[in-house]
Amino acid sequence: MRELTKISEHLWEIPAEGGMRVPGRIFANDGLIEAVIEDRASEQVANVAHLPGIVEASFAMPDIHWGYGFPIGGVAATEARTGVVSPGGVGFDICCGVRLLASNLEESDFASKRQAIMSELDRRIPRGIGKGAIAPGGMIADVLLRGARAAVDAGYGLEADLERCEEFGTSEGADPGVVTDKAIKRGASQLGSLGAGNHFLEVQVVDEILDEEAAKAFGLARGMVVVMIHCGSRGLGHQTCTDHLGVMGDAMRKHDIDVPDRQLACVPVESTEGQRYLAAMAAAANFAWSNRHILAHEARQAFAAGTSASWEDLGMDLVFDVAHNLAKLERHEANGRLVDVCVHRKGATRAFGPGHPDLPEDLRDVGQPVLVPGSMGTASWVLRGVEGNPAFASAAHGAGRLMSRKKAKSVASGAQVRKDLEGSGITVRPGSVSLLSEEAPYAYKDVDIVAEVCEAAGLAARVARLRPLGVVKG
């Protein structure tokens, strides 16, 4: 294990040594850092610090755990002109992210219609490992090019929804022509579906407001029922990552690049291979933006059917949609100067602070909403971006896994997990009962602590805590 030095109450550092070009920095408290050491994810933080062109530090968010190449929760910025891009810094589920819908329902309103609403969601939301989709596969070419805008034009959701999406629901630079036929085939039957694993659609209630001004700007109020959707680019994104990892493994030799872990395969950002990956990644991201958009449309329809009211009358406006698996070309201050960088956020959320020009005008005074889902059956958080973020305007993306799926399944059966959740007042509609134990609350870190550390470390500020009422799982 590499040496970890405690810099402050919520920051730990791995000094640059050997082939490390920059130090590693992990945002955590004393309790969270113990899990990092046990997981050995700090080794991956140090490995990332070897990337050519990396700027300032290899960062890790408070929800860090072991991943492919990069740790999940890893953030690294490389010089846009002289540095590299690494698919391992994005992950297989390209543009996996979270969408949050508001409503004018209160908890008592949901309680009176609980079974009807949950049954409609259960019936309408495709999920699980196999096929099943809301939207026709014939949309996919347009979706890869235009993202959520293509979904709006096809009759899903509203134009106004795009204003409340990161990148306004469309990743620029997408080229569907560099997405393989195999990836497209995998995605064609999955447009508008949750998938499995830690993905979910959850009905929640705003349990606590810590920042009234920001909550008002976001359209949130205490006691409000909301809907959170967590999913990504499905098989299309996974195949896209797989395809380009194969290309980069060979291309590294051509570019004379050596890294300590082959899972960190990378090429120069400005190389042909780098540009093709970024164009394919953007196309896969557009699939993910559209996927969440279509799922949100169907969730609105489910609430309308379950309450015998229109979703417009229910006030189901979009709060925001954020991604947590992307590499983006951005401009940031690093080491006292403004630099154009490729920011890899792998299990980390963009968290632009107040005044950033890329934010919607109505949110610019308070900062970007940062959506941090907890584990199934625990709270989730809405935070906001703040000025002076020390990690290229990035924050945590969730609670962070504490134990492997295999270990989690050995603790309790899926049936027992469901019984416990429903005993605590959370209605569960699983695609697979047996797989519930993989996502049990005990398998994850405490999301309340993760949110507290984000705030204390200056990554993002807490706005509202959300408590689950019902969950639809793959």
* Residues annotated catalytic, as ranges: 397
390, HSE (Cβ side, Cα atoms, 13 Å):
16
Positive or negative CA dihedral for 454, 19, 275, 290? negative
Single-letter residue type at 421: L
Cα separations in angstroms, 398 against 54, 98, 211, 409, 445: 25, 10, 20, 20, 9
Q: Are 291 and 233 in contact (CB under 8 A)?
A: yes
In angstroms, rounded to a whole number, what is the distance separating the alpha carbons of residues 268 and 274? 6
**Distance from chain centroid for Cα 80:** 23
| Contacts of 18 by beta carbon, 8 Å cutoff, 6+ apart | none
What lies within 8 Å, CB to CB, of 256 at 6+ separation is none
